[in-house]
Amino acid sequence: MRAWLFGCLAMLLALAQPVAAHHSTANYDSDKTAKVTGVVTYVSFTNPHSFIDMDVAAADGTKQYKIFATSKVALLRYGWRPDSVKPGDAITVEGRPDRTDATQLYLLRITFADGTAWSRDEILQ
């Protein structure tokens, strides 16, 4: 019986390892912060990660940025709603840049055109 329990525990730990790796933010540079201003083109308010696509004007043309956020469940707890960020919204985003793709950020803060600002884990009034 003890061997069976140990085997089950080992299997559960082995299965949990890839899940933990999936939720890592190691690919984002925690020593850097990037700030971009643009227009939202798409919002995915989902689990396990929400994200925002936005068009950002650059000297060499418009670039599409992907802004990653935490889960829908967590965002709902922080006061966000599915229509809090919509296509067409002009926003400024501060986030941690991806180590290999500067057009991908992990969300730290959003500032809307009216000056309202949200951190990734709360709505700032």
CATH number of 27-124: 2.40.50.1010
Query: Nearest Cα to 71, choosing from 53, 51, 86, 52?
Result: 51
Q: How far is Cα 73 from Cα 82, in angstroms, rounded to an integer?
A: 11
Confidence of residue 124 (pLDDT cuts 50, 70, 90): low
Query: Which among 57, 62, 114, 119 is positioned nearest to 93, based on CA atoms?
Result: 119
Mean pLDDT of 9-25: 57
Band (20; pLDDT cuts 50, 70, 90): very low
φ, ψ of residue 119 in degrees (nearest 5)? -85, 170
Domain boundaries, the chain: 27-124
Q: Quick one: average pLDDT of 76-99?
A: 92
Q: What's the pLDDT at 12?
A: 61
pLDDT at 118: 86
pLDDT (0 to 100) of residue 6: 61
User: Is pLDDT of 17 > 60?
Assistant: no
105/78: higher pLDDT:
105
Is the pLDDT confidence value at 107 over 80?
yes
